[in-house]
Chains A and B, each alone.
Chain A
Amino acid sequence: MTELLRVEDVHFTYASLPVLKGVSFSVEKGETVSLLGPNGSGKTTLLKILLGLLRPRSGGVFLDGAPVGSIAPKTLAKRVAYVPQVHRMAFAYRVKDVVLMGRTPHKPFFSRYSAEDREIAHQALERLSILHLGEKRYTEISGGERQLTLIARALAQGADALVMDEPANGLDYGNQVRLLEHIDDLSRDGYTFILSTHFPEHALWIADRAVLLKKGLIEAVGKPDEVMHAAAICGLYNTEIDILTVEGGFKTCIPRAIVRRMNAGRGLRVLTGTPYVESAWRPEDAPKRMVR
């Protein structure tokens, strides 16, 4: 694996309020990196610094070893693309025209989009199986379809790294799952993802690496399996959780507070299909016991 992005001791201050206080980690080519942290932990700021939209007060971000600030915006755009949260667009552009905008850094400044640009946009729509939406208005399609449109635009941009700010926000459950599927598909094709999320499960399911961010500092970096144990997530969000592991190592989170309410204080009782429970408040008590 080769390193694609390196974040080195990044500090950032917003209106004399320190937002990031020395953040360092690296992103390998083809990796999916998940950024987790409570509201106000600095996730969005960090993503914007990765995209070159904000300049860190000190420290730096390096793309293939070159400082992001020294790379021309057009060149950077061809390498790293931004997939924003699903938003309301002021104008009802056609989906295929939205995707075509991704070709902006590739076209000569004064020219129009070429036939090749249109072909690439077409392929991006096809890649995400939303070719049928091409003629539709962006404002008339569903949240999930909009998210896919924005991903298609990032693909059309020709970038090999996609930066996504809470991509699952505003999507219904089914669309969240489909989004994760698409991210996993693209990741298998070699795309690199750096995404922030409010759902620990999403990191557990698709990330190769998790970055746990709290109050502008990194709490832990590593494989989700290793760093996202119950105590770490409990510390991050200040709520007790259990992590369940089913066969094959698949994990999911369950909030303790809810279990306690539902279960009259008896704690988590596993009935079926849940071989392994990791408990939040006494991680040392959580033996690797398998319930069959």
Chain B
Amino acid sequence: MMDRRLVFPLLILALILAVLVSLSLGRYPVGPGDIFRFASHELFGVGDGQGMDQLRTILLYIRAPRIVGAMLVGAALAVSGAVLQSIFINPLVSPRMIGILAGSSFGMSLGTVLGLSWVAVQSVSALFGIVAVLFSVMLARLYRGDRVLLLVLGGIISTELFNSLFFLMKYLADPYRQLQLITFWFMGGFSLADARTVFVLSVPITVGMAILLILSSYLNVLTMGDEEARSMGVNTTLLRTVFIIVAAVISSLTVAVCGMLGWVGLVIPHMGRMLVGPDNRVFLPVTIVMGAMYLLLVDDLSRILFDVEVPLGILTALVGVPVFALVLRNARKGWQ
């Protein structure tokens, strides 16, 4: 484990570097000098305006939304996975495993089929993300036994339920207008992420992450168990509900940007815990930065690896599986 005070600044530095690298990557070569020239021109009006329009199009309108989107989604999935793992004291939980992503996928397809407005589709998606996680938790509560295992089973059942409802929606969708939209977006990826989507969704996701960070000390207390937490004057029912709903909402909203992305919400929390330990006051901000960086780098890979862009869902799994296998070796340290 590294010194906790040192980790965060280092991660921020690495993230800034990753952003600069990502800005220069792509079909059209943009060097670090170009980025610097563009930034100083835009911010301080230094230098001549030669070639600036082209740079502005590439950097601001094409690459920046995609970079911001990737960071936003990575951060949201990672922190929501971290919160869910802490709150359920369960190392196997992630937003996808517990049914949230399936629920919000169904919500999105339902909204699309019903021809709702964009904002309404997002709301329905988030709503079904919440419904799906509550359904998993309720299923797990029905029976006595190993809590860790039962929640995983509840998540599998909930995921299957909403997956089949999702396919029902695909079946019902208008093949000319709606079906291809649903299908494309389900594969996952940022090629569909436009500036508007990213900008609008950045608000609720940022607010949600801020809430989780502000309440992080209570997350520690909640992991001590219900009775101990209550004996310390904590309203466990209220806080638990807030944590689960905020985690469900921010991870549901990522589905709108890039479809269903697994692994990020499972792998990054384990890596974060290995790096700084389980104290949520330090652990949550670290997972946010790590999640942002991870998805940004994986998205860079998907852009440059082959001539054709590889769907992100495939790459996150391909990168995530070996990483998780490595992490699993040490992941038990933070757990008892």
Contacts and interface: CB of A to CB of B under 8 A. Distances in A.
B228 interface: yes
Contacts of A82: 227-228, 231-232
A84 B227 contact: yes
Q: From B220, B221, B281, name the one whose CB has the most chain A CB atoms within 10 angstroms.
A: B220
A73 B220 contact: no
Contact of A94 (B86, B225, B233, B279): B279
A104 B232 contact: yes
Contact of B235 (A53, A73, A113): A73
A124 interface: no
A91 B223 contact: yes
Interface in A65-82: 72-78, 80-82
A101 B232 CA distance: 8
B234 A89 contact: no
Interface residues of A, number: 35
Given A93-B220, A97-B279, A77 B214 contact: no
A53 B223 CA distance: 17
A105 B279 CA distance: 18
Nearest to A101: B221
| Residues of A contacting B: mostly | mixed
Interface stretch (B8-16, B118-126, B180-188, B328-336): B328-336
A123 to B, nearest CB: 18
Given A88-B336, A92-B334, A101-B224, A77 B217 contact: no
Contacts of A139: 336
A33 B60 CA distance: 70
A56 to B, nearest CB: 16
B278 interface: yes
A90 B220 contact: no
Contacts of B333: 92
Given A92-B334, A110-B214, A104 B231 contact: no
Given A82-B227, A84-B227, A101-B232, A112 B336 contact: no
Contact of B232 (A77, A87, A137): A77
Given A101-B224, A104-B217, A110-B214, A91 B278 contact: yes
Interface in B204-248: 214, 217-218, 220-221, 223-225, 227-228, 230-235
Nearest to B281: A112
B224 A89 contact: yes
Contacts of A167: none
B220 A101 contact: yes
Interface string A36-75: 0000000000001001110000000000000000001111
A61 B187 CA distance: 59
Q: From A53, A88, A91, name the one whose CB has the most chain B CB atoms within 10 angstroms.
A: A91
Given A90-B223, A97-B279, A101-B224, A112 B217 contact: yes
Q: From B225, B228, B333, name the one whose CB has the most chain A CB atoms within 10 angstroms.
A: B228
A81 B224 CA distance: 14
A73 B336 contact: no
Contacts of A48: 227
Given A92-B336, A101-B224, A104-B232, 14 more contacts: A53-B231, A73-B230, A75-B233, A77-B231, A82-B232, A89-B223, A91-B334, A91-B335, A91-B336, A92-B335, A93-B220, A94-B279, A104-B234, A139-B336
Interface of B: 86, 89, 214, 217-218, 220-221, 223-225, 227-228, 230-235, 277-279, 281, 333-336
7 contacts: A80-B231, A81-B232, A82-B227, A90-B89, A90-B335, A93-B279, A104-B217
Q: 6 nearest interchain CB pairs?
A: A77-B233, A82-B231, A105-B233, A91-B278, A74-B233, A90-B89
